[in-house]
């Protein structure tokens, strides 16, 4: 077994820990300059409990005033467009008022007297006013649409940017289809609330003022009768507005559920068809569609009731005006032309009043969409940059010091004495240290780290401590759900530990800005995340702006260049959604090329060989080894056979209890020297 294998060390562990499951921490540590070997520390662990899912319920209601105030800043720089639209609408309304006045004049001076010569002047003026009103209507509609679409683009960009600041657990607890519905349909509703609704409201109010003023000039007493009936519109609209908002909230909730059902079914068509579950998925979509149908029918029922109710009020108002107007004509206080003009003003006035009510309903319906967007915007990431976060330039790279302590956690402390290891890796060690030093560090220290996932009661990690220097390989292995990936999530600051510290080059990662921290870490996952686009695009994703020579060098190092050249369009070949036009091995090599191009001092490999056959996995190991060279690497795997042979491995795990404690004994395994519990 060699010198290392002949050394024995003992650690006393309380027998009460026998029933606790634990992952295994494997450390591949290269020989030090003095010929000694650093010792692996164990990963204390508690099994994780299930995570609760987000509640599928309507978003909390927010007052329309508060919603408007939240989204109004997005109109900065667009308000002039809105002002132009409102002014154009005012011009159009003024033209309509003047045209109605000309109609009354033609009725009295031409139709009543039969004087045809008096027709041409007002007729020409009427045509001119109509043309001007048409131009104003176009200007109003176009500027409103232009401003509204730009507003939508800003809001969508802002919401999407905010979504990308949220940690992965936010997306794990929500359905993708529902989030997509919020970014599309619900955001369009905000435009109705803030832009279209506001412009319609202002335009309708101006029109009401113009037409009401014109009516007062004809007969003020008749106008008062008209105005007395307007509150009836307000009461009806107010009564319907609240019901509309509740119905719209249910419709949008069900729309999100329907989108989720479609997205899940289409994303998993291979499984659906392989298991002959097409009918099941169709039933799921039908059930979601039924909920959406019921919500839509509720809205349709309210709309169907609102229209006739308003029509009855309008008809009553018009008949009242005609009756009073006929009495005024019989009394000689009003001409026929005046009555017709007054009726025409009412014909324009009441639709504007009705428009005010409909705007209230539209805004109430749109508020349901804004509630769902505000629910997203009010979500906060699990971790944020501290106020005093240091930049890359402020961090102190320290690769010369080392601490070799055994993680305590719930385990009794102990000491493991190890002997010198043959220096057959000495040259490799020296080379990797030099490469890491040139790259700028990468030393990782976990010190007494405790962590419990949100909405769980049992901790996932308890007292984890280990140190990895540039060039080291840390292999985390254990059963599913043991918390292996938690180490990576904590290092990337998707979460902050509930206790202890994580240091990168001697700096607590909580004191580093997210961008600086993640610019120094490369993640290679088992999903081989590729985007729709070309092979070139996906490799360059690791370092935007890379030229072709850099991309090719990375592909060559990843062992991907040969198969890329054989693709129909080489580096310009589309890979399909999520890279589905490529094989698993090809996707993995492109992901490795992307990681090589990114060139960071810290590398996280999360089950990089999952789903690959042994031949493909063996072919991947060579470029993967080049990727790990000189970097601090954390390898997450459940299969130790995939651990590279380039360095010695130390494995620490639990075994049956013998007596009142446990002993640790060094043994030789096929993949190197291993430290195991016996």
pLDDT tens, residue by residue, 466-484: 888 888 888 777 666 667 7
Q: How far apart are CA 49 and CA 485, in angstroms?
A: 15
- pLDDT at residue 259 is higher than 60: yes
Residue with tokens 């290891």: 421
Choice between 624 and 202, residue whose per-residue pLDDT is larger: 202
CA nearest to 338, candidates 325, 321, 355, 324: 325
611 phi-psi bin (left φ>0, alpha ψ -120 to 50, beta other) = left
- pLDDT at residue 39 is higher than 60: no
Of 120-124, 479-483, 484-488, the range with the lowest mean pLDDT is 479-483
Sequence-distant (6+) residues with CB within 8 A of 581 are 573, 574, 575
Instruction: Identify the structural domains of the chain with CATH numbers, from first to last.
Output: 2-44+407-520+600-677 (3.40.50.300), 64-377 (1.20.1560.10), 530-593 (no CATH)
Pairing state of beta strands 632-636 and 602-606?
parallel
Reported as a single tens digit per residue, the pLDDT across 204-238 is 888 888 888 887 777 777 777 777 777 777 777 77
Reported as a single tens digit per residue, the pLDDT across 129-171 is 889 989 998 998 899 889 988 998 999 999 999 988 888 888 8
Residue with tokens 């401003």: 147
Q: How far apart are CA 3 and CA 5, in angstroms?
A: 5
- pLDDT at residue 461 is higher than 60: yes
Instruction: Give 113's pLDDT tier (boundaries 50, 70, 90).
Output: low
pLDDT, residue 73, reads 92
pLDDT, residue 309, reads 79
Yes or no: say if 576 and 528 are a contact pair by the CB < 8 Å rule: no
CA nearest to 555, candidates 614, 595, 584, 599: 595
Q: For residue 571, count other CB atoms closer than 10 A to its CB.
A: 19
Choice between 669 and 486, residue whose per-residue pLDDT is larger: 486
pLDDT, residue 210, reads 83
What is the arithmetic mean of pLDDT over 400-421? 30
Q: How far apart are CA 342 and CA 340, in angstroms?
A: 5
- pLDDT at residue 427 is higher than 50: no
77 phi-psi bin (left φ>0, alpha ψ -120 to 50, beta other) = left
Q: Any bridge partners for residue 574, and if so which?
A: 534
Residue with tokens 């180490």: 487
Reported as a single tens digit per residue, the pLDDT across 531-557 is 888 899 889 888 888 888 889 988 888
Q: How far apart are CA 443 and CA 315, in angstroms?
A: 81
Whole-number percent of the chain with pLDDT over 90: 6
**Mean predicted lDDT score pLDDT of the chain:** 72
Of 24-28, 65-69, 106-110, 422-426, the range with the lowest mean pLDDT is 422-426
633 token code pair = 């690497």
Q: How far apart are CA 175 and CA 602, in angstroms?
A: 32
pLDDT, residue 223, reads 76
Strand order in the sheet with 507-508: 461-468, 444-451, 499-504, 507-508
Yes or no: say if 523 and 168 are a contact pair by the CB < 8 Å rule: no
**Helices assigned H by DSSP within 37-196:** 64-71, 79-106, 120-163, 168-172, 176-181, 187-191
Reported as a single tens digit per residue, the pLDDT across 12-35 is 333 333 333 333 444 433 333 443
Q: How far apart are CA 58 and CA 285, in angstroms?
A: 19
- The terminus-to-terminus CA distance of the chain in angstroms comes to 17
Q: How far apart are CA 533 and CA 521, in angstroms?
A: 24
State the helix-helix crossing angle for 79-106 and 197-218, rounded to 10 degrees: 30
pLDDT, residue 247, reads 76
Sequence-distant (6+) residues with CB within 8 A of 371 are 58, 59, 60, 61, 62, 67, 249
Choice between 481 and 437, residue whose per-residue pLDDT is larger: 481
Yes or no: say if 155 and 190 are a contact pair by the CB < 8 Å rule: yes
Residue 606 exposure: Cα atoms within 13 Å on the Cβ side: 19
Q: Any bridge partners for residue 666, and if so which?
A: 675
Reported as a single tens digit per residue, the pLDDT across 273-301 is 766 777 877 888 888 888 888 887 887 78
Nearest-5° Cα angle at 235, 233 to 238: 105
Q: How far apart are CA 43 and CA 59, in angstroms?
A: 41
Q: How far apart are CA 496 and CA 481, in angstroms?
A: 19
pLDDT, residue 428, reads 38
Choice between 175 and 428, residue whose per-residue pLDDT is larger: 175
pLDDT, residue 479, reads 67
Q: Any bridge partners for residue 449, and if so which?
A: 464
- Cα–Cα distances (Å) from 36 to 3, 421, 442, 570, 644, in that order, read 11, 6, 21, 48, 21
Q: For residue 400, count other CB atoms closer than 10 A to its CB.
A: 9
What is the arithmetic mean of pLDDT over 576-583? 82
pTM above 0.85, yes or no: no
Instruction: Give 502's pLDDT tier (boundaries 50, 70, 90).
Output: very high
pLDDT, residue 602, reads 92
Instruction: Give 359's pLDDT tier (boundaries 50, 70, 90).
Output: confident
Burial of 57 (0-12, 13-18, 19+ CB in 10 A): exposed
Q: How far apart are CA 192 and CA 498, in angstroms?
A: 44
Reported as a single tens digit per residue, the pLDDT across 62-88 is 787 888 889 999 999 999 999 999 999
């Amino acid at each position: 077994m060699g010198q290392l294998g002949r050394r024995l060390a003992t650690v006393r562990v309380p027998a009460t820990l026998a029933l606790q499951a634990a992952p295994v921490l494997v450390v591949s540590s290269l020989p030090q300059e003095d010929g000694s070997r650093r010792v692996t520390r164990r990963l204390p662990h508690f099994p994780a409990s299930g995570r609760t899912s987000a509640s599928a319920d309507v978003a909390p209601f927010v007052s329309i005033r508060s919603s408007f105030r939240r989204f109004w800043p997005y109109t900065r720089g667009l308000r002039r467009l809105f002002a132009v639209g409102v002014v154009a609408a005012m011009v159009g309304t003024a033209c309509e008022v003047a045209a109605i006045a000309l109609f009354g004049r033609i009725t009295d001076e031409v139709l009543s007297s039969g004087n045809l010569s008096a027709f041409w002047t007002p007729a020409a003026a009427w045509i001119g006013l109509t043309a001007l009103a048409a131009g104003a209507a176009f200007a109003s509609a176009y500027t409103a649409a232009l401003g509204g679409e730009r507003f939508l683009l800003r809001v969508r960009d802002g919401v999407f940017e905010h979504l990308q600041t949220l940690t992965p657990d936010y997306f794990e607890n929500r359905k993708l289809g529902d989030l997509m519905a919020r970014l599309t349909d619900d955001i369009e509703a905000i435009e109705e609330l803030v832009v279209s609704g506001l412009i319609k409201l202002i335009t309708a109010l101006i029109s009401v003022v113009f037409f009401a003023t014109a009516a007062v000039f004809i007969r003020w007493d008749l106008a008062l009768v008209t105005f007395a009936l307007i509150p009836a519109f307000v009461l009806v609209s107010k009564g319907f507005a609240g019901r509309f908002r509740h119905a719209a909230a249910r419709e949008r909730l069900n729309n999100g559920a329907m989108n989720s059902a479609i997205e899940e079914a289409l994303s998993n068509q291979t499984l659906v068809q392989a298991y002959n579950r097409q009918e099941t998925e169709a039933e799921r979509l039908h059930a979601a569609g039924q909920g959406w149908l019921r919500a839509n029918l509720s809205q349709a029922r309210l709309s169907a009731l609102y229209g006739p109710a308003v029509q009855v009020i309008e008809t009553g108002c018009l008949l009242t005006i005609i009756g009073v107007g006929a009495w005024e004509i019989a009394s000689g206080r009003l001409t026929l032309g005046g009555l017709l003009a007054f009726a025409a003003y009412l014909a324009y006035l009441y639709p504007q009043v009705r428009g005010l009510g409909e705007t209230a309903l539209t805004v109430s319906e749109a508020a349901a969409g804004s509630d769902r967007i505000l629910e997203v915007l009010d979500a906060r990431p699990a971790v944020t940059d501290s106020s005093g976060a240091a930049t890359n330039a402020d961090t102190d790279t320290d690769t010369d010091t080392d601490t070799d302590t055994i993680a305590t956690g719930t385990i009794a402390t102990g000491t493991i004495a190890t002997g010198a290891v043959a220096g057959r890796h000495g040259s490799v060690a020296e080379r990797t240290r030099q490469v890491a030093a040139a790259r700028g560090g990468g030393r990782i220290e976990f010190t007494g780290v405790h962590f419990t996932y949100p909405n769980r009661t049992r901790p996932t990690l308890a007292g984890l401590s280990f140190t990895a220097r540039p060039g080291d390989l840390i292999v985390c292995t254990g059963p599913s759900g043991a918390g292996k990936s938690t180490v990576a999530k904590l290092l990337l600051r998707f979460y902050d530990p509930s206790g202890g510290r994580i240091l990168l080059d001697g700096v607590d990662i909580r004191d580093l800005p997210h961008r600086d921290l993640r610019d120094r870490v490369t993640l290679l996952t088992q999903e081989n995340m590729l985007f729709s686009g070309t092979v070139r695009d996906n490799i360059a994703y690791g370092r935007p702006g890379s030229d072709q020579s850099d991309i090719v060098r990375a592909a060559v190092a990843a062992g991907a260049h040969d198969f890329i050249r054989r693709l129909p369009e080489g580096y310009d070949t589309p890979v399909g959604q999520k890279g589905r036009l490529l094989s698993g091995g090809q996707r993995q090599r492109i992901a490795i090329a992307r990681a090589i191009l990114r060139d960071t001092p810290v590398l996280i490999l999360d089950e990089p060989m999952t789903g690959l056959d042994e031949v493909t996995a063996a072919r991947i190991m060579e470029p993967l080894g080049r990727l790990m060279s000189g970097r601090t690497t954390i390898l997450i795997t459940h299969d130790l056979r995939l651990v590279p042979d380039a360095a010695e491995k130390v494995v620490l795990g639990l075994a049956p209890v013998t007596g009142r404690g446990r002993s640790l004994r060094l043994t030789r395994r096929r993949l190197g020297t291993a430290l195991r519990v016996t």
